[in-house]
Chain A
Amino acid sequence: MFEVQNLTACYGPLIAVNDVSLSFETGVRMGIFGHNGSGKSTFLKCLVGGVKDVSGAVVFGGSPIVADQVHRNVMLGIGFVPQVQNVFPNLTVEQNLHIAGSKSNSSFLEEAYALFPLLRERQDQLAGDMSGGEQQMLAVSLALMTRPQILLLDEPTAGLAPAIVKNVLNSLSRINSELGTGLILVEQNVLAALDVVERAIVLKGGRIVFDGASEELRAKEDLWAWF
């Protein structure tokens, strides 16, 4: 259970997330939408304590998320895949997975390879030399190495070809159904993402302007007016 109460996040004078309150179960599939600069990434970062200047409270499973202590917060069982640079380009695929796995059971390496067989083929390749889609798969596997109960993904399909977008989103669905891992998905590919999530949130200027079932958002005739 994630509980967010009156969360406000600032960068200097700029208010990026403005008085947001909401709660969701750990196994949820939820999409966060909104145009560029609406505060999606900032909100997601706040869920792991990645923004320093915040007020309000974020509580995960009864434990408070402490600002600026990302490495501790994620160990509560949260997997976080940042928007940019979410793999370590100068390390091989296997070394990447070892970094992530060194705090948990390393037998999970095999599970990651089972989930994304392609990563086993590429295990000795430098992560920086892989394609965008392959890097996203690696990034997701890295986050899974800490055995999270919930995965937070910031635009995991950004810059990918449409066929690969489906592929990545399908993998995420599979992780949710097979491992029971919750998904919080920030996405620009709204329609593709609405197929995966059950609940949708739309942010505008750092505030929630829509919160409801994904079907409800899809059915809105003026869908794009919300953005």
Chain B
Amino acid sequence: MEYILTVMVLIGINVILATSFNLILGYGGLMSVAHPIFYAIGAYCSGLLAIHLQIPVPLSILIGAGIAMVLSFGVSLPSLRVSGDYLVIASIGFQLGILHVINNLDFTGAAGGLTNIPVLNEGPSRSLVFVLLIAVVAACAVFLVGWIVEGDYGRAITAMRNDEEAFSALGRNAMNIKIVLFAIGSGMAGLAGALYAHYFAYVTPEQFGIFTSAALLTMVVVGGAATTWGPLVGAVLLTTLPQAITFLGLPVSIMAPLQGVIYTTLVIFFLFARPQGLTGGSRGGGGLEAWSASAAFRARRDAE
């Protein structure tokens, strides 16, 4: 029972992560890989604040999410000014850089991880209560993103993603929209991280590396980029799938690479065969089409 509840917590965390990543990648068309680092920032900041400053856990969770949101400007402001492509590089650099720092500082627990993080709630049915809480937060995340992309602002986001040059030619500021989307998405990832830290009471740097980036990308692509429910479907599938594989009892030396292979295969398969993902309509792809569209545009221009 405890095992199932733990898996459900992980599902909830991943729904928040995939949904917020979808806001950045799917709707915003912003090619960042660094989503897990904002997850890490939320987890570490909240954990450290609660450990060292005895800040009440609910408050430290909110501060952790806020710090992730504020630090997102450190990536988005300088890189988006240069160009959208630059964000990919800047985000990888930021992710690896921060992980390197965490790995080498004593007070973050270095490579061994941060332990003894105060938990959010205690008591006999602590996991059940936490599952309910995370379900509510995950539902709020899905509805928040759904609400942002509906209506006037959502139309502006779609237009900005369709074509930035045409969008700014109409007097609209594409940069502002991107920076806002990136900040909201990163703040949500920070929230997920803080919740994770105060449930499991333990985080390690390796949880937030490129492998997690790949997992989140797979969830968004498989579920359906730029759809409301896609990331939720993707997160549920891709959180339960590895758990199911665990039951096969394969040795770790095979398990770890196998997961990587499965993720990569799924992403490549879906990008080519079903870019709209499992839940998307015929016109899906969202931000992913921004890559193919700009590639097509460059090919056409270079051919001229």
Contacts and interface: CB of A to CB of B under 8 A. Distances in A.
Interface stretch (A23-31, A77-85, A171-179): A77-85
B100 interface: no
Nearest to B152: A102
Interface string B159-176: 100110111111111100
A91 to B, nearest CB: 6
Bin chain A's interface residue count: 20 to 34
A74 B165 contact: no
Contacts of B283: 90, 126
Given A36-B304, A98-B152, A98-B155, A88 B171 contact: no
A95 B155 contact: yes
Given A82-B165, A85-B297, A91 B170 contact: no
Nearest to A85: B163
Interface in A3-49: 36-37, 48
Interface in B21-72: none
Contacts of A196: none
B165 A50 contact: yes
Interface stretch (A58-66, A138-146, A186-194, A210-218): A138-146
A99 B304 contact: no
Interface string B238-282: 000000000000000000000000000000000000000000000
B264 to A, nearest CB: 28
Contacts of A74: 168-171
A145 B170 contact: yes
Interface string B89-118: 000000000000000000000000000000
Contacts of A90: 158, 162, 283
Nearest to B161: A90
Contacts of A102: 152, 156, 172
Given A75-B171, A99-B172, A146-B171, A82 B155 contact: no
Interface residues of B, number: 22
A51 B187 CA distance: 33
B169 A143 contact: yes
Given A84-B297, A85-B297, A86-B163, A99 B168 contact: no
Contact of B168 (A37, A70, A79, A126): A70
Given A99-B172, A146-B171, A91 B159 contact: yes
Nearest to A79: B169
Contacts of B304: 36-37
Contact of A71 (B158, B159, B162, B173): B173
Given A37-B304, A82-B165, A102-B152, A146 B159 contact: no
17 contacts: A36-B304, A70-B169, A71-B173, A74-B170, A79-B169, A81-B169, A84-B297, A85-B162, A85-B166, A88-B159, A88-B163, A90-B158, A90-B162, A91-B159, A99-B172, A103-B171, A142-B166
Interface of B: 152, 155-156, 158-159, 162-163, 165-174, 283, 293, 297, 300, 304
Given A50-B165, A74-B171, A99-B172, 9 more contacts: A37-B304, A71-B173, A74-B168, A82-B166, A88-B158, A96-B159, A102-B152, A102-B172, A146-B170
